[in-house]
A and B are shown apart, each in its own frame.
Chain A
């Protein structure tokens, strides 16, 4: 086909277009470097500095993110706000946005898939402070809902303060009820004001969403879409506390206690409870304890990995997804009513819309409906079913189990079996493993270590199937290992081996098929050999005696003997993990190389001996006691072998000077070993390559050599500046490397063993079985209160005195007093304890404070569970909702943990002198015995007037009196005091807030203050007579006049002479004279008086007038005021009417909140 030709485009040379183009061309020149170049060098310098500084502000301390990238747990998005603000509506809208399903009754966490690699768990937080604390500790993102028509409420600020002290998760504000504001200008102003306040609380520029109104019980779809987009692109920085603790938000709880036990104990027995949820934080290991806030510390009995109920889409599932199924996107909300099924703590409720009859095949069948249908299908009674039932061990078994199975064995087998039963671990237990894929055995490899078959992993029982050989899929009784003798006599019996690497594929006997594939055999001398066999030996079952001896058995005994002679035990072949952790062998036995069987037999024998306590144990063996020492005794005899040249030469390869050995391994070291000398190592040849093909080996060696040389060259000549990382980059690099290693190290072992070594990884959906949970947790379970399972570190289970730096919250109106109970939210826990406040007194002592200081940090010490230094906390005086004020009373951070506290308070001992000498005085009333005085000998004392002194020695006469010396003579009237420091310990009081155990969750009562108790009980405060205030009566002190002897006066200099002049007794000159006014003066005075009188009158009249005017004005104002009040009343009435409707609407919410509403 010919190429089509087009007319070339001709640009316009004139007109609007040309003009436009020309302009834009000018603009689009791009970045003009000259324009931004600094004019002076100084400016350039300044600009450079600024840029560098700005870069530095961007940096944050690199933190390890322990959440895996491939299967991360769903992010927790908590919806928090005051009641009636629209939390449930928002949750429903968001869930509908992601799953296209409408939930009617939302309770507990709702997990949805929000993207290819992202899931979200939504949870609504109720208005209880306890819930807010727990949610604040686990939420990754908080949607903080604010009633736009109302403004911020106290709970919002309280919640923000809780967030702040437990690591600040991301917060998005959501303004609702904006449709209630009618005027556009008011709306704008409100938005602005609320935004400003929000920004000061979170940070400048924090995201605030506006939701306009409710349509069809949901928020507008576009707004929700925008919000969900924001949520999905959110990035989360790991929070330190959560990055160091495993935790789980339980989305389901079940009671596993036997019903009978519950019935017997009248429902009061401790329960076994399982909780389900996604693991978050770090790996959760069995054996650690967990804390459920509101319940307490619990022990985990088991952790089971479950299938993900809300899996991320993978390529496979995407392929299978049909268009029709698009409607049914995954949502996991066991406590809500998804698909008409709701799980309660002990029941499953199935909600069927409309009428529901069996015949109606066309009706849509949900999961719940199917369940009901199945139940209706039952035809027989349970008894019949049991009578007819046959127990098949496995789904694939062709015959059911019968009682006669045992008697059909050959007697030989039976005896063997009994021998084997001595160890209970591999008795019938092995049978309960199911085999799903029989094909696996055909493709078995000789040393397949991994048990990758998914059975056992899904198994509920925790029995790791590492005990003994697992004979799976077998329907007759198992055979036990044979001795060497029986092998040599050609018994066609399975010889069982107990090495775990082979246990997954060993010993699988089926009725019609038996594969012996490269198995290792255990002989009496505990030697092992690897035997190779071909796959095609399809052998008949163990019962029949085979006459033909297979090839691989023909020279068994010789092989065995050879193996025995082999000097070096094959250490590498043993499964150390299993030997150490899953057998009860003693370390010596493991090192000797005993098999678990023989070892346990030994043990058994030993235990028999113990029982037989009458036999005398000869202590001859114990004369040489085994010392607990690190150094092993070097015996000269053992070292004799090193006299042989052969042995000496054999370890030459371990030294750097060795020239005959391949050093590829040392070269392969990555950057960790920069000083390893490449030059010396590259010179040698290869001895390790297979002798069969030297060319290949040589090529490999050459390649390795080239690689090394290349690396060396790169190191020397590559741009050193470019490759050099700064500190920040280096740290980040290091973190990624370690994470990579973490991922790779356990990737290749089977999941069960992986969990054993590593714990359960975050992101996995697990079931945790908790032991001895209080019955109230189950009895009073309420799905709207979150259950958080927080893992505890080893140290956090302990108790001690915790020293914290604390500051009373500015908005908390009262001061905090020492020895008043305070509720702390610290770590996972919420508890009440009794703090003692203190301040550091010149770094000498910790001095007790009676009250917390204003606007200042102080220390507090209380008894409680240990948490790591630098953990934040917040404290409350009360958690109940009926308190009007701000409830967060203090915040702070943990500083120190100890077993004793070093707080002192000042103690002043006072005494009075009863005899005063020159500089010495006898003091009484300070102590009560000579012994006490002896304790204080040498102590500093002081009088009120400031004369310092010292305690010298006790006096015999009045008990407790002592002699003291002073720097000057003291007065008899002086009070002498001794300043001492009395050390005090905080009270050992710890009271966990067990709010989840209450039927009314908000009504938790902790320790009350004495005053509170008195008020509640109506007890009068006892008054101490000595403590009552009385008018102070101070006796008039009379001082004697100072008398200076005449003689002395005479010799004193004038300045020192007492100058007591007498009062004048004669009348003075002026006093003697009378004063008479002149007529002139008289007149003047009269005139002045008149003028003053006139003025006074004038002022009075003016005042009167003003008062009149004022009265008139007041009346006018009053009138206006009355009008205004009328109007206000109307307005109020209207508002209350609206509020009443609103309140009626969310009547389901708790009732106490109305009191709490306060405009801030």
Chain B
């Protein structure tokens, strides 16, 4: 009677969608137990990067209790409050910085103090969003929800796999409540931007990539600006590598992005072509939000004030579908998913609308 009542505990199994489940747990305050993590695998249990992520989450929050079973196949998380403040974290070399940044981006606006997170490790790899895309695409998505002042990702050093050595600093302001999104017009693409970077290789590589990408994209629009970003010396990390990140922005601010990273035995031109074509494929899928950011946008729509938020999205990804289900578990919110009312029959776009939960940043200190 006198002690805390145990709040509801949610159960999930499998290693998939671990990040979103942890983030949702911390945001909603509901404890979560995830079991059967690779229980059938030859190498069962949590991977090093997942453990590292749990560490990071523990550091960003205050009062979080994380229990990992002996075999590592089950995790119990009792979330605390999101504290923010200066945090430094070394990321393992098995995943890039993007893997860690994505969940933190979802949490950071709701912390007690503005977050200043320094992450060290690989900045660009072929598994996760590179820091360039996070800086140029993910963060502008937060602006849709009214999180803008002081939002910044500084790329101090670049680090390519396998040895990494990069460093980024993520600064995020806190908000009281996110704005309700109403984004139903995708507009037309008005500009294409890109960043091609090369570290510890011939800086000419980056220019070659730009040339190649332009050869594909020039036919559509003249407003293409691809930056060549070469880091030298200490700032260029420990391993050689190059990559091209592209983003297409529409008249209404809808953004689609794609990128390709250096592969052994692939010419930079081919990498660039791959990136450009991936961008076109992404553009063709439609929606106001590209596939990599569906999860982020839908989550923030759920967290919006108690109004109807709408967003037009292409075909949802597996992650998105799982997010929708998980959100229902955590917040009890469901989306209305209707085909977007477009006269064009071929379009595969869907209109997601939901009634926000009225999530208010309870961690924020008054006065």
Cβ-based interface call for A580 (8 A): yes
Cβ-based interface call for A329 (8 A): no
Cβ-based interface call for B71 (8 A): no
Interface 1/0 per residue, B326-350 and A, CB below 8 Å:
0010111111110100111111101
Separation of A577 and B277 alpha carbons in the complex (Å): 31
Considering the complex, give the chain B residue whose CB is closest to the CB of A673. B252
Flag if B188 contacts A658 (CB, 8 Å): yes
Considering the complex, give the chain A residue whose CB is closest to the CB of B336. A757
Cβ-based interface call for B316 (8 A): yes
Separation of A665 and B220 alpha carbons in the complex (Å): 20
* Residues of chain A within 8 A of B315, CB atoms compared: 571, 591
Interface 1/0 per residue, A607-649 and B, CB below 8 Å:
0000000000101001001111111111010110010000010
Interface 1/0 per residue, B290-320 and A, CB below 8 Å:
0110010000000001111010000111111
CB-CB under 8 A for A631 and B128, given A244-B306, A581-B325: yes
* Chain B, interface SS category: loop
- What is the interface residue range for chain A against chain B? 35 or more
Interface 1/0 per residue, B342-367 and A, CB below 8 Å:
11111110100111011110111111
- Which residues of A706-752 are within 8 A (CB) of B? 738-739, 741-742, 745-746, 749
Cβ-based interface call for A799 (8 A): yes
* Residues of chain A within 8 A of B328, CB atoms compared: 287, 581
Q: Which of A588, A745, A749, A988 is packed against the most chain B CB atoms within 10 Å?
A: A745
- Which residues of A850-895 are within 8 A (CB) of B? 866-870, 893-895
* Residues of chain A within 8 A of B321, CB atoms compared: 580, 587, 590-591
- Which residues of B219-257 are within 8 A (CB) of A? 219-222, 250-252
Cβ-based interface call for A1126 (8 A): no
Flag if B360 contacts A651 (CB, 8 Å): no
Flag if B62 contacts A899 (CB, 8 Å): yes
Separation of A895 and B364 alpha carbons in the complex (Å): 9
Separation of A622 and B357 alpha carbons in the complex (Å): 38
Separation of A381 and B219 alpha carbons in the complex (Å): 87
Cβ-based interface call for A66 (8 A): yes
Separation of A64 and B358 alpha carbons in the complex (Å): 12
Considering the complex, give the chain A residue whose CB is closest to the CB of B185. A669
* Residues of chain A within 8 A of B29, CB atoms compared: 794-795, 797-798, 866
Flag if B318 contacts A666 (CB, 8 Å): no
Separation of A893 and B258 alpha carbons in the complex (Å): 49
CB-CB under 8 A for A869 and B355, given A656-B188, A738-B307: no
How far does the Cβ of B49 sit from chain A's closest Cβ, in whole Å?
9
Flag if B355 contacts A757 (CB, 8 Å): yes
Interface 1/0 per residue, B35-75 and A, CB below 8 Å:
00010111000000000000000000011000000000000
Cβ-based interface call for B202 (8 A): no
* Residues of chain A within 8 A of B281, CB atoms compared: 638-639, 642
Cβ-based interface call for B169 (8 A): no
Flag if A577 contacts B336 (CB, 8 Å): yes
Flag if B17 contacts A642 (CB, 8 Å): no
Cβ-based interface call for B161 (8 A): no
Considering the complex, give the chain B residue whose CB is closest to the CB of A573. B339
How far does the Cβ of A630 sit from chain B's closest Cβ, in whole Å?
5
* Residues of chain B within 8 A of A688, CB atoms compared: 343-344
Considering the complex, give the chain B residue whose CB is closest to the CB of A577. B337
Separation of A655 and B81 alpha carbons in the complex (Å): 44
Flag if B251 contacts A989 (CB, 8 Å): no
Separation of A795 and B331 alpha carbons in the complex (Å): 10
Flag if A676 contacts B365 (CB, 8 Å): no
Q: Which of A591, A630, A638, A794 is packed against the most chain B CB atoms within 10 Å?
A: A630
Cβ-based interface call for A116 (8 A): no
Cβ-based interface call for B86 (8 A): no
Cβ-based interface call for A568 (8 A): yes
Flag if A629 contacts B334 (CB, 8 Å): no
Separation of A800 and B222 alpha carbons in the complex (Å): 56
Q: Which of B15, B42, B81 contacts A628 (CB 8 A)?
A: B15
* Residues of chain B within 8 A of A626, CB atoms compared: 16
* Residues of chain A within 8 A of B146, CB atoms compared: none
Flag if A900 contacts B283 (CB, 8 Å): no
* Residues of chain A within 8 A of B325, CB atoms compared: 580-581
Cβ-based interface call for A282 (8 A): yes
Among the stretches B3-11, B148-156, B205-213, the one at the interface with A is B3-11
Cβ-based interface call for A444 (8 A): no
Cβ-based interface call for A999 (8 A): no
* Residues of chain B within 8 A of A622, CB atoms compared: 40-42
Flag if A654 contacts B283 (CB, 8 Å): yes
Considering the complex, give the chain B residue whose CB is closest to the CB of A743. B308
Separation of A1121 and B337 alpha carbons in the complex (Å): 88
Flag if B19 contacts A642 (CB, 8 Å): no
Cβ-based interface call for A990 (8 A): yes
How far does the Cβ of A590 sit from chain B's closest Cβ, in whole Å?
6
Cβ-based interface call for A479 (8 A): no
Separation of A571 and B63 alpha carbons in the complex (Å): 45
How far does the Cβ of A682 sit from chain B's closest Cβ, in whole Å?
14
* Residues of chain A within 8 A of B63, CB atoms compared: 800, 898-900
How far does the Cβ of B147 sit from chain A's closest Cβ, in whole Å?
18
How far does the Cβ of B346 sit from chain A's closest Cβ, in whole Å?
7
Flag if A287 contacts B332 (CB, 8 Å): yes
Considering the complex, give the chain B residue whose CB is closest to the CB of A833. B2
Q: Which of A297, A631, A742, A893 contacts B307 (CB 8 A)?
A: A742
Interface 1/0 per residue, A551-590 and B, CB below 8 Å:
0000000000000000010011100110011000001101
Flag if A899 contacts B81 (CB, 8 Å): yes
Separation of A591 and B188 alpha carbons in the complex (Å): 27
CB-CB under 8 A for A990 and B129, given A577-B336, A581-B324, A628-B16: no
How far does the Cβ of A297 sit from chain B's closest Cβ, in whole Å?
7
Cβ-based interface call for A517 (8 A): no
Cβ-based interface call for A657 (8 A): yes
Q: Which of B2, B7, B222, B334 contacts A797 (CB 8 A)?
A: B7
* Residues of chain A within 8 A of B182, CB atoms compared: 672, 741
* Residues of chain A within 8 A of B221, CB atoms compared: 655-657
Flag if B342 contacts A648 (CB, 8 Å): no
CB-CB under 8 A for A568 and B346, given A283-B355, A581-B324, A800-B63: yes
Flag if B62 contacts A900 (CB, 8 Å): yes
Flag if A577 contacts B307 (CB, 8 Å): no
Cβ-based interface call for B18 (8 A): yes
* Residues of chain A within 8 A of B204, CB atoms compared: none
Separation of A572 and B315 alpha carbons in the complex (Å): 9
Q: Which of A288, A633, A798, A805 is packed against the most chain B CB atoms within 10 Å?
A: A798
Flag if A741 contacts B308 (CB, 8 Å): yes
Interface pairs (19), CB distance under 8 Å? A572-B350, A587-B318, A636-B270, A651-B220, A658-B188, A663-B188, A666-B187, A666-B252, A676-B187, A742-B307, A757-B355, A795-B28, A799-B4, A799-B7, A866-B362, A867-B362, A869-B362, A869-B366, A900-B62
User: Interface residues, chain B, CB within 8 Å of chain A?
Assistant: 1-5, 7-8, 15-19, 28-30, 38, 40-42, 62-63, 80-81, 98-99, 102, 112, 126-129, 180, 182, 185, 187-190, 216, 219-222, 250-252, 258-260, 270, 273-275, 277-278, 280-281, 283-284, 286, 291-292, 295, 305-308, 310, 315-322, 324-325, 328, 330-337, 339, 342-348, 350, 353-355, 357-360, 362-367
Other than A580-B337, A634-B278, A899-B63, give 14 A-B pairs with Cβ distance below 8 A: A297-B5, A568-B346, A572-B339, A576-B337, A580-B324, A581-B325, A631-B98, A632-B317, A648-B280, A656-B189, A656-B250, A794-B330, A898-B112, A989-B2
For the complex of A and B, the 5 pairs showing the least CB-CB separation, nearest first, are: A899-B63, A287-B332, A587-B318, A572-B339, A587-B321
